[in-house]
Amino acid sequence: MSEEGLAGRVVVDGQPLPPLDQLIACHECDLLMHHPHLGEEEKASCPRCGYELVVHRSHMRRRSLALVLTALLLFIPANFLPIISLNLLGQNAVDTVWSGVIGLYHLDMKGVAFVVFMCSMLVPLVKLLCQLAVLLSMPYASLRPLGVQLYRAYNHLREWGMLEVYLFGILVSIVKLSGMAELHLGVGLACFVGMMLAQIWLEVTMSPHQVWDALSEEEGDHART
């Protein structure tokens, strides 16, 4: 093994590659490239397949914190305030996400109630709390290992939050019911849509590359977020 090899450098066909932290591999086509140095709001794409490699958001931590707090504030009204109120033959019914879960449970559809509760309430809440904890841990070296664990957990949970599917279900029922009964859209629906938009914006703002960089900075090295 050469001296470069001992120092952590990869040797291919006798030619040493630059240190690994100066290289980046495309997630889509595995092309290995030099790590691009980006300015504020710049992004780099793979020259072979066009996949977005890295993007540098300015004030990423502050902007993400604002969005995660907005989404958390909207979480309670989105789930516990009326989404639609229904007037059918003089009978009034008010529906919230939570009353939907309880209703399914009492209709002996416990499995469905559990899945709806998981995907529309529990997982989105845990995801937001993970993101909040990750953002709060960034400036503190002693908390960053916990931040790394929580960010890994967040990445596993991403597939389980299905707010978009839930919203689509609500819209389909609104269209179907509108011919049969008098419908009033509730403030819960506005909060639900607001929470979803805040989460989508958060996904765009919280650039994974910058998050991992901030979480792996050495002590006294924190200056970028």
The reply to whether 53 sits near Zn ion by the rule CB under 5 A is: no
Interacting residue with Zn ion among 4, 22, 23, 28 (CB under 5 A) = 28
Binding flag, residue 25, Zn ion (CB under 5 A): no
| Count of residues near Zn ion by CB under 5 A | 8
Which range touches Zn ion (CB under 5 A), out of 49-57, 160-168, 184-192, 210-218? Answer: 49-57
Q: Rounded to the nearest 5°, which phi and psi values hold at 77?
A: -60, -35
212 binds Zn ion (CB under 5 A): no
Please tell me whether residue 170 binds Zn ion under the rule CB under 5 A: no
Contact between 48 and Zn ion per CB under 5 A: yes
Q: Which is nearer to Zn ion, 27 or 106 (CB)?
A: 27
Q: Which amino acid is at 178?
A: S
**Which value, to the nearest 10 degrees, does the dihedral of the CA atoms of residues 153, 159, 164, 165 take?**
-130
Distances 131 to 72, 111, 166 between C-alpha atoms, Å? 11, 28, 21
Find the binder of Zn ion among 24, 26, 83, 191 (CB under 5 A): 26
Our finding on whether 140 is near Zn ion (CB under 5 A) is no
Shortest Å, Cβ 60 to Zn ion: 24
Q: DSSP string spanning 88-107?
A: ETTEEEEE-HHHHHHHHHHT
User: Considering the complex, what minimum distance in angstroms separates the CB of residue 54 from Zn ion?
Assistant: 12
Contact 207, 54 (CB under 8 A): yes
159: left (phi over 0), alpha (psi -120 to 50) or beta: alpha
Contact indicator for 98, 141 with CB cutoff of 8 Å: no
Please report, as ranges, the residues that interact with Zn ion according to CB under 5 A.
26, 28-29, 31, 46, 48-49, 51
